[in-house]
Amino acid sequence: MTARPGPREAMARLDEEARARLRRAEHPRRVEAQLATLADEPFSRDDWIYERKLDGMRLLVHRHGADVTLRSRRHEDRTRAFPELVEPVAEHVPRDAVLDGEVVAFEGSVTSFARLQGRIGLDNPTRARATGIAVHLYLFDLLHLDGHDLRGLALRDRKRLLRATVRFEDPLRYTPHRNRDGEAELQRACDRGWEGLIAKKAGAPYTGGRSRRWLKLKCSRGQELVIGGWTTPRGTREGFGSLLLGHHTSDGLRYAGRVGSGFTAAALTRITAQLRRLERPEPAFLDPPRLRDAHWAEPDLVAEIAFTEWTRDGRLRHPRFKGLRTDKDPAAVVRERP
């Protein structure tokens, strides 16, 4: 096996311009994740790269000496939820590093957020392992290395250092990319049943927050929405009939429709218990639906929803529940627009 260069040797191999962008820095306790903006059309440009859009949960990975911490994009500690990732990170990642990636579970050859649901809410390593749901960690960016802040480097240089300094063995996986032909790559992604692609400007630095230097190219529509209530179940169904969904605007929470499909029996039980604790007498929506069997909830839960399109009056068409998102701030959920 060819020996990998150490962090200092890898950084020394960068060209002069890239080395000039390196900044000495202590290990950061908190890093703001860079987020992608929805794009309306695929495109091909030589100064962009195209990565697979994974249907999982974002993780910022900190290795600081002997300590390994996995944090969500909301800075919540998820280390205990994914104990089988800790040892590989400690073994294969440099001792002073911060990486950006996504933890996923597979359904066949496709990443499945619905399957990952069985792991996200757990905070007990023994219970997490006992689920039998295998997870993998795809890494796509390197933000800090050996006392240096890398966020000012071009993306290509950061990925070059990531590839050079981390040993990728399961469950750690490198996120590959393509350098051109965005339209053709998106079509191939959709043919394989993927979520889509993330297009990234290859020469850009890493900046926290929403950015137009990272763009989402989706195969089908979907986004996060806030749960503002539920309806009474009918027939033999238990828990609730449908979830009442909304998104924030400058005026407040707007109703976007309801979803009643995509729930497993376990999800119905778990979400019902959470909704009961959040029940409130009046709706949080500015424009609540007129439903006789509606119950209202504090808008503190976020659901991942797939759908075919938005109607002219701002409602979801053919929505389907995919899972709860504990890594998203409900107050930041707005309608995604290309």
Active-site annotation holder among 53, 200, 216, 328:
53
Q: Return the amino acid letter for 127.
A: R
β-bridge pairing 110-111 and 106-107: antiparallel
Q: Which residues contact 155 (CB under 8 A, 6 or more apart)?
A: 49, 141, 200, 201, 202, 203, 204, 205, 206
Tell me whether residue 53 is one of the annotated catalytic residues.
Answer: yes
Could you give phi then psi for residue 287, rounded to 5 degrees? Answer: -130, 65
Strand, coil or helix: what is 140? strand
Let me know: does 66 contact 90? Beta carbons within 8 Å: yes
Q: What single string gives the DSSP state of each residue in 36-89?
A: EEE-SS----TTEEEEEPPSSEEEEEEEETTEEEEE-TT--B-GGG-GGGHHHH
282 contact partners, CB below 8 Å, separation of at least 6: 296
Largest Cα span, the chain: 69
Catalytic residues: 53
